[in-house]
Amino acid sequence: MFVRKMLFYVWFSLFLCLLPPGLGLNVPLSSSRSVIETRDQLEGLITWDKHSMIIRGERIFVFSGEFHPWRLPSPGLWIDIFQKIKALGFNAVTFYTYWGLVEGTQGQVRFDGIFALDEFFKAAAKAGLYLIARPGPYINAETALGGYPGWTARIKAPLRGDDPEFVNTTELYAAAVGKLIADAQITNGGPVIMLQPENEYDTWPEVNNTDFPAQGNRNYMQHVKEQFRRVGNVVPQMVNDHLYQGNWAPGSGLGETEIYGIDAYPMRYDCAHPDIWPKIRWPENWQMMHQKYSPNTPFFVAEFQGGSGTGFGSVNADACNALVNQESVRVLWKNNYSFAIKIFNIYMTYGGTNWGNLGYRGGDSSYDYGAAIKENRHIWREKYSEEKLEANFFRVSPAYLTAVAGNASNGSYVSTDQIATTPVFGTEYPTNFYIIRHADWTSTNTTTYKLDVRTSIGNISIPQLGGELVLTRRDSKIHVTDYDVGGINLIYCTAEVFTWAQDVSGKRTLILYGGAEEVHEFAIDLANMTRTSTPTKPHDTNVKVEKTKFNTLVVQWKVSAERRILKLDDNLEVLLLWRNDAYNYWVTELPAEGPIGNYSSPSKSIVIVNGPYLVRTAAMDGETLRLTGDINRTIDVELIYEPTGKVKTLSFNDETLQGHRNGDGKLTARLDFQTPKMILPDFTSIEWKYVNSLPEIEAFYDDSNWVACENPSTNNPQSLLTSTSLYASDYGFHSGSLIYRGHFIANGEESTLFLNITGGNDFGYSLWLNHTFITSWDGSGEGGGEATYSDTISLPSKSLESGRSYVFTLVIDHMGQDEEAPGTDAIKAPMGIINFDLAGHTQSDVKWKLTGNLGGESYLDLARGPRNEGAMFAERQGYHQPSPPSQDWEISNPIIDGIKSAGIGFFTTTFDLNIPIGYDVPLSFVFANASTTSSSNYRCQLFVNGWQFGKYVANLGPQTTFPVPEGILNHNGTNTVALTLWSLDEGGAKLDGFSLEPEMPLWSGYRKPWSSPQPAWTAREGAY
């Protein structure tokens, strides 16, 4: 397979080289025939209409979570994330591919190692999730250069336009990634069901929004589409229009896609004030806009806010989870359902890590994003459970798939104008859905109301048995009428439906839930039932049951922590749950015959299990139900429902459990949790080796192999302010850090040095003159947080010796490039020295040299990618990798000893781990909280087995915890950890504290991952 791929890439490269200039952009006229031919290839597999997607002949609500494989560089753990997304009740994952990581060297596309996609596709299929591919070439995703390779910053033509100089550079990548995706399409037995060309391509400089897209934009968009078609992609292509103005919708002309989607982030990004909900982006007319722009496709939100990103000097990811929390999921997601949404993707569902400097200038090392699944893969955030409740409801609600949205109004269908209601009307079913929320969606009030709706037995004011319904704080409800439960009509229900199922004997199990202390009521048509009343527990005043006219049974209950099970008939059992209790219930599909296999299908059988921290898979084996999953404490596993009625034994992670029937008649078994015994390293007592990582300030240092900054011009849109270009990108250095050395002959007039430097948000720098430390900027104070900083620096009061050679050494922290709005070329914003002035000299008197990572774009560490290293001496030598030549290095501890003056020290050590088999133990490296203990300004890079997994800025924070996944960290073997400690203070620095800490070990059914590549140190040719 690898050889065939490489031959294809080589062939395509040669083909491009033989093309006349500009021929790579060949835009055909839009053809309806090509669309018909594509749909023909998808016959029986994928189609769609104005209501929903139809996969293998079944209507399906495509419920997707965003997950980027390259943000979890341990491919053996991808199946873990997929299983946790599947356990939510989702049936799809949307993913970006990152051009800049696979074509760091122009002309060499490397989809291998952790960057290979084959394992990603296999894991998705094994978990049973469909994939929506988003290969760009532009992706945004809070990545450096918006996902473009660094070398694109030197292209003169505007990026994302139709100039052949730019377009031709995308061809090799598009062909390579396109072929990989094409091979994994559903038409080839794979999981890919949809593809997005480009990303949020909605604006262009000097083109009004009303005039966008101009012809050049149309040419480019059409070309990107055709790039993927040419290599065999036939699945429908979609768009995410973040301005919601109809761009690229079907029928919009050249560049149009087949399925129109939008994206929205209504909670915005102020994680520092999570209780303050913004009012400026509340969606309220989406159903009308969809009818205007794309009435013949399903309503599709291609990106909806699942959290928010963090940056240096801000707040941590838990604050972003508090902003986009379970309440926002209830209010905003249910508002989306009120528009009859049928394809829904949450950005992000698992965020991961900005390891290896891959993030953009506004982020930090974490891409946790406050998502439902934490960076360390835990799922204890409450919104994970809330999302599970909602997604499972739509799996068992086929009436919604053809329902149409009504209009929201305050006071309609309810007794108060403090509440807004949006009806969603069934078309092929009598079912209606009423989405209830506060009229002021940010309200934290408690509001009581009655619901007035029309049902199959007439108009009803609910509740019928007295009392009122209640909406507490930021909440939303889905009330249903005439809802089908396997042939039994739920005439109305104010409690929310989690799920229901029917076994082979015809017995239905229905699970309803509500918030604590809420009063809920439902009514059932008794026409298909034999029993006309139901027993309740003696003296249970929280449940009322009454048979009314129209042969209807009405049940009202006040929600409490105590579960109630009502056996209303031999064929109907209703579980009444407190919402927080429902969080512990899992709906897990059973495998089916091919071609559906593990993929989701409305027709598949399920089991419902209560108790574990996670249920991953379920399979029937005769009279045994075999479960896999995770626990974090001793629990009772309770089988709520299975389809055969034959299960007598439970197995969990291949351990047979001793079961019994509990008081409710449910098969139950105790599952004991034993805390794993672990020995973790004590970094204060372990032996560390040390080497100076800033030899550049020593008199003996030779920079003859450095790049001389001699380019007299630049293609960069930012004009030069210096006699030669000092832009790092002009010399092939794009990540980590930069070091400049400026040589000059003194004349005795050098009183000041003016510097204008760009390093990305919250960057810092340090400056030396020969061996003398001059100053640092730590990224705080006036100008703090900005990407650029200017300062006039006083040089030593004693004049320099005239006629003598001197050298400035300038270390700059590179925080990543900007993202990109189409046509602005923002990602080309130069990094490094933008301007300088040395008193008493012309600019040409100072001869600058520059280094970044060794080799620049011809980077040496192919396994870890083009952005993993920066300019520091230890990085250029490769000492951050396992087994550096440290035999003769000094013994020194970064916590106890640190470094004694301004400069950069490199520390490395090894330790062993032996985590007990069968346990999933997320581990994180933790720096002591600088906000309370740090007495110095320093920056520290964390390398684990050669992988850069964090940048810690002591004076800014907020990130102090750096999760490192198993596979990068060897849980059963030897590990190398290395630190670059950069003191920005004259007095030096040492770590306030450094440790390796677990978070909530799990006894787990996860698949233990294999190790990612961890090439060890070898002497690097040409290293300086």
- The phi and psi torsions of 400 (rounded to 5 degrees) equal -65, -30
Q: Return the structure tokens found at 653.
A: 């992670």
817, 829, 857, 841: which is closest to 714 by C-alpha? Answer: 829
663, 515, 670, 495: which is closest to 583 by C-alpha? Answer: 515
Distance CA 592, CA 643 (A): 13
Distance CA 348, CA 278 (A): 20
Q: Return the structure tokens found at 452.
A: 């007035």
User: What stretch of H or E contains 480?
Assistant: strand 476-485
164, 323, 188, 195: which is closest to 257 by C-alpha? Answer: 195
Distance CA 97, CA 134 (A): 7
231, 364, 350, 295: which is closest to 762 by C-alpha? Answer: 364
Distances (CA, A) of 176 to 107, 132, 196: 11, 17, 16
Task: Give the active site residue among 198, 256, 303, 327.
Answer: 303
Q: Is 890 a catalytic residue?
A: no
User: What stretch of H or E contains 933?
Assistant: helix 930-933
Distance CA 957, CA 934 (A): 11
213, 239, 241, 207: which is closest to 225 by C-alpha? Answer: 239
- The secondary structure of residue 377, as a DSSP letter, is S
Q: Return the structure tokens found at 451.
A: 């619901």
Provide the β-strand partners of residue 609: 586, 639
Distance CA 542, CA 537 (A): 10
- The secondary structure of residue 1009, as a DSSP letter, is P
User: What stretch of H or E contains 4?
Assistant: helix 2-18
Distance CA 984, CA 953 (A): 11
Residue type, 186: I
Task: Give the active site residue among 200, 327, 390, 869.
Answer: 200
Whether residue 164 contacts residue 745, with contact meaning beta carbons closer than 8 Å, is answered with no
Q: Return the structure tokens found at 339.
A: 């528009």
Distance CA 75, CA 1007 (A): 11
Q: Is 750 a catalytic residue?
A: no
Distance CA 1014, CA 991 (A): 26
The catalytic residue positions are: 200, 303
